[in-house]
Amino acid sequence: MKVMAQMSMVMNLDKCIGCHTCSVTCKQAWTNRSGVEYVWFNNVETRPGVGYPRTYEDQGKWRGGWTLNKRGRLRLRDGGRLHKLSRIFSNPKLPEIHDYYEPWTYDYDMLLNSPSGEHTPVATPKSLLTGKDMKISWSANWDDNLGGSLETMDQDPLLAKMSEEVKAEYEKAFMFYLPRICEHCLNPSCVASCPSGAMYKRAEDGIVLVDQDACRGWRMCVSGCPYKKVYFNHRTGKAEKCTLCYPRIEVGLPTVCAETCVGRLRYLGLVLYDADAVAAAASVEDEHQLLDAQRNVLLDPNDPAVIEAARAEGIPEDWIAAAQASPIWRLIRDYEVALPLHPEYRTMPMVWYIPPLSPVVDVVTNTGNDGEDVNNLFAAIDKLRIPVGYLAELFAAGDPAPVELSLRKLAAMRSYMRGISLHDTREESIANAVGMSGAQMEEMYRLLAIAKYEERYVIPAAHAEQAHDLEEMGCSLDFEDGPGMGGAGPFGSSSGASVPVAVENFHSLKNRQTADRPSSPGRVNLLNWDGNGKPEGLFPPEEKK
């Protein structure tokens, strides 16, 4: 047994209202740069829908993740090492920018500076790739709230697996939101696909990262990841991906997406797992057994043998304590309500989801029945094959049993807690019907409904004695266009040492505050004026005496 720690996340989909706050704050923090305009480390998809990038779940087309070969051995779906190298000059499975979307901006200046005329001026969309006018026809969440999905929904790879009748009924049935970040898998196929060895899984906390100095831009990680959560920065020619906000995690803060989540639906914490058991668990032949296999790779942090082994591996005491207090462990193993996203990709993903019960409740309530009665809900879960079937494709390789069990637990919790608040009765039989006790039910309710910040995010900091090293070292003048460096250098602005984040932020803020011109060519206006000086056109001409 080789114990390793993994920082993981669980998202409670029942609470997601699809507000995209996580996506926007993540983008502001990590990908508001040129070259990654089209990149959303965190995106929120409306399901059913085609996803971002379009149809990424169709592994027959994109060939991401792992599969078993004829001898039952684990291999990359897109072929082994030699096969990858043979296609290094042109990766046929790489999504093009149009599979994501063509990034754009608007010609805002037009709104302010066009001469007065009969028609209202229009800010035309301009492509950020070519600078030319473009027609916006797709984006990261174009089918948000099922918008336009009558035309695109049949491209949803999960629906394609279900029957025709289901497809036709689908839009009436239900929808829900699926926020996605990098899965920080235990068996990451992006890392396995990287020819340069630039991608790695951090031994301490399992975060999967790209070494920007070692990446050579071969792009195999992008096609290797079945979730398409590694992106190609087309300006620097390097791969970039969700970092699980490791600079924040290292100091004990939750990720930006979790911190800013309005619905408080995200949980962060450590789990301990047996690194030696990962390969065997990922090679289980029956796809329906993969979920259980992955659950069994995770180790009980309260087991003395596990604690002993964790100490032997040098895992610090406060990390073991954090693993014991982890909400992740409780949701995955104690309550078994959280499920992994697409276990059939065999990457052992470590961002898990609590499937949404609300579509079922809605159906029951809409028929005039009591949507909080446990029998009504149980019957509906049994009867509503469509949502369960779809959720099973998403979270259990098509096996409805784990999804049903999870939904039944959520339904039971709903009824049990209503009994307490309305009648002040603890109906133990409801809890027993899903194999739990009343006390467990209340604990789960507390964790899912009212858990505070410290309970939702149990993140052990990197050790205090390392803190000074976390600061960004190096010369603060040594940045692009700074006095320490003569501009962009001979290889273009994408070359050279990258700018420290703090310096970049400081200067961009300063530039914005003191800019006397808008970023698009044009005059200063009320929107971009910082109050300094008297920009031309903002004031009436001074009277000449």
Among residue numbers 315 through 374, which ones bind another protein (CB under 8 A)? none
Q: Which of 20, 228, 234, 409 binds another protein (CB under 8 A)?
A: 234
- Check residue 520 for interaction with another protein (CB under 8 A): no
DSSP three-state, residue 105: strand
- Rule CB under 8 A: say whether 304 interacts with another protein: no
**Least spacing, CB of residue 331 vs another protein, in Å:** 26
Specify the residue, 165 or 471, whose C-beta has the smaller distance to another protein. 471
* Contact stretch for another protein (CB under 8 A) within 55-63, 125-133, 319-327, 396-404: 125-133
Structure-block tokens of residue 236: 């620097």
DSSP state for residue 133 in the 8-state scheme: B
390 close to 364: Cβ distance less than 8 angstroms: no
Residue 200 near another protein by CB under 8 A: yes
| H-helix or E-strand spanning residue 7 | strand 3-12
Give the residue, chosen from 7, 26, 350, 462, that forms a contact with another protein under the rule CB under 8 A.
Answer: 462
User: Where does this chain touch another protein (CB under 8 A) — which range of 41-49, 245-253, 436-444, 515-523?
Assistant: 245-253
Rounded to the nearest 5°, which phi and psi values hold at 232? -100, 120
CB closer to another protein, 89 vs 539: 89
Q: Supply the DSSP string of 337-370, one letter for each residue.
A: --EES-GGG-S---EEEEPP-HHHHHHHHHTTS-
Dmax (CA) of the chain: 94
Task: Give the position of tokens 């276990």.
Answer: 343
* Cα–Cα distance for residue pair 427/412, rounded to 1 Å: 10
Residue 20 CB-density burial (10 A; 0-12 exposed, 13-18 middle, 19+ buried): buried
Task: List the one residue from 19, 497, 509, 538 that touches another protein (CB under 8 A).
Answer: 497
The single residue among 463, 512, 517, 534 that binds another protein, judged by CB under 8 A, is 463
How far apart, in whole angstroms, are the C-alpha atoms of residue 188 and residue 179? Answer: 20
Place of tokens 């932020």: 505
Is the distance from CB of 42 to CB of 179 less than 8 angstroms? yes
5's enclosing H/E stretch is strand 3-12
- Does residue 474 interact with another protein by CB under 8 A? yes
Instruction: Note whether 469 binds another protein by CB under 8 A.
Output: yes
Q: How many residues bind another protein (CB under 8 A)?
A: 73
Q: 188 vs 74, 209, 213, CA distance in Å? A: 12, 11, 20
Q: Site for another protein (CB under 8 A): which residue of 150, 168, 214, 262?
A: 214
User: 241 vs 408, which CB is nearer to another protein?
Assistant: 241
Residue 205 CB coordination number (10 Å): 21
CA angle 339, 350, 460 (to 5 degrees): 120
Binding span for another protein by CB under 8 A among 204-212, 292-300, 327-335, 413-421? 204-212
Considering only 19, 28, 32, 81, the residue that binds another protein (CB under 8 A) is 81
Q: Which stretch binds another protein (CB under 8 A): 19-27, 292-300, 423-431, 472-480?
A: 472-480
Only one of the segments 176-184, 239-247, 358-366, 414-422 lies at the binding site for another protein (rule: CB under 8 A); that segment is: 239-247
| 490 touches another protein by CB under 8 A | yes
Q: Which tokens hold the place of 249?
A: 């995690």
CA pair distance 59, 342, nearest whole angstrom = 11
State yes or no: residue 238 binds another protein (CB under 8 A).
Answer: yes
Interacting residue with another protein among 491, 526, 527, 544 (CB under 8 A): 491
Nearer to another protein, 154 or 504 (CB): 504
Cβ 287 to another protein shortest distance, Å: 21
With contact defined as beta carbons under 8 Å apart, do 362 and 308 qualify? no
Q: Which of 16, 158, 199, 350 binds another protein (CB under 8 A)?
A: 199
Q: Which of 60, 147, 148, 314 binds another protein (CB under 8 A)?
A: 314
Q: Give the nearer residue to another protein in terms of CB position, either 191 or 350.
A: 191
Segment interacting with another protein (CB under 8 A) among 217-225, 252-260, 378-386, 425-433: 217-225
Nearest approach, Cβ of 450 to another protein (angstroms)? 33
Distance, CA of 203 to CA of 232 (rounded, Å): 24
Among 167-175, 208-216, 416-424, 507-515, which window interacts with another protein (CB under 8 A)? Answer: 208-216
Q: Name the nearest CA neighbour of 495 among 211, 213, 130.
A: 213
Q: Can you tell me the distance from the alpha carbon of 420 to that of 409, in angstroms, rounded to the nearest whole number?
A: 16
Q: Which stretch binds another protein (CB under 8 A): 209-217, 391-399, 421-429, 505-513?
A: 209-217
Nearest-10 crossing angle of helices 400-418, 385-395: 120
466 binds another protein (CB under 8 A): yes
Nearer to another protein, 81 or 446 (CB): 81
12, 25, 42, 243: which one contacts another protein (CB under 8 A)?
243
Q: How far is the C-alpha of 74 from the C-alpha of 83, rounded, in Å? A: 15
Residue from the set 171, 276, 472, 516 that interacts with another protein by CB under 8 A: 472
- Two tokens, residue 299: 């180790």
Nearer to another protein, 217 or 533 (CB): 217
Between the alpha carbon of residue 99 and those of residues 54, 321, 449, the distances in Å are: 6, 44, 38
